[in-house]
Amino acid sequence: MKVKEKVIEDVEHAESMKDTFLHNMSHEIRTPLNSIVGFMQLLDTDVTAEEHDIFLKIIHQNSELLISMIDNMLLMASLESGEYQMERVEFDVSSLMHDLSESMHGHIHDGVELKIMVHESIYVCLDPNSLRRVLKALILNANKFTPAGTITVDYKVEDDMLNVSVADTCIGIAVEDRKRIFGKFEKLDHFSQG
């Protein structure tokens, strides 16, 4: 392939990726935003105290979802541009897991048990903020597709490598779709958020 053709192909691919990203994000952002606006309008009507509390909870959840989406978009942009700076420090991963467990329980559906295994102190040299961000995203994703059951997070260090697993009792992923889910902006269920 000639250099000029390769450049044209790369530009077309980048444009296609940008269009896909904008299409997906406009849909993803609109969903919680519509929910926030709709339930705020309902608060102006004659609602019971119980309905009022339920609507506020829904508004709060969708506000957090929207902030998380925007944070993830900004993070992705900084990763793509090479501006993201990782800070490698030594820390106790067991302590991080304990803190993560405490902070995540308010985000888990009723009927779902979050089990974050906490072992004896294990010190690693990584970026704790990046690890926390990835684990939180995996847990929230598992929660989204686990209406009931458990989400279990475990970890161990082997050969100077931190191995972390997030297992859940969700709907699962068909064998033929497993490679596809790791592509950018890929979704198996276009009717669910995320």
pLDDT tens readout for residues 86-116: 788 999 999 999 998 888 878 888 889 999 8
Q: How much of the chain, in percent, has pLDDT values that exceed 70?
A: 92
Task: Examine the pLDDT at 143 and tell me if it is beyond 80.
Answer: yes
pTM over 0.75: no
**What mean pLDDT is predicted for residues 20-36?**
80
Q: How much of the chain, in percent, has pLDDT values that exceed 90?
A: 26
C-alpha distances in angstroms, 135 versus 45, 89, 173? 40, 18, 19
Report which of residues 138 and 25 the model is more confident about.
138
Q: How far apart are CA 53 and CA 51, in angstroms?
A: 5
**Backbone phi and psi for residue 96, each to the nearest 5 degrees, phi listed first:** -60, -45
C-alpha distances in angstroms, 53 versus 45, 61, 106, 161? 14, 12, 16, 45
Task: Examine the pLDDT at 189 and tell me if it is beyond 80.
Answer: no
Task: Examine the pLDDT at 185 and tell me if it is beyond 60.
Answer: no
Predicted pLDDT at 194: 47
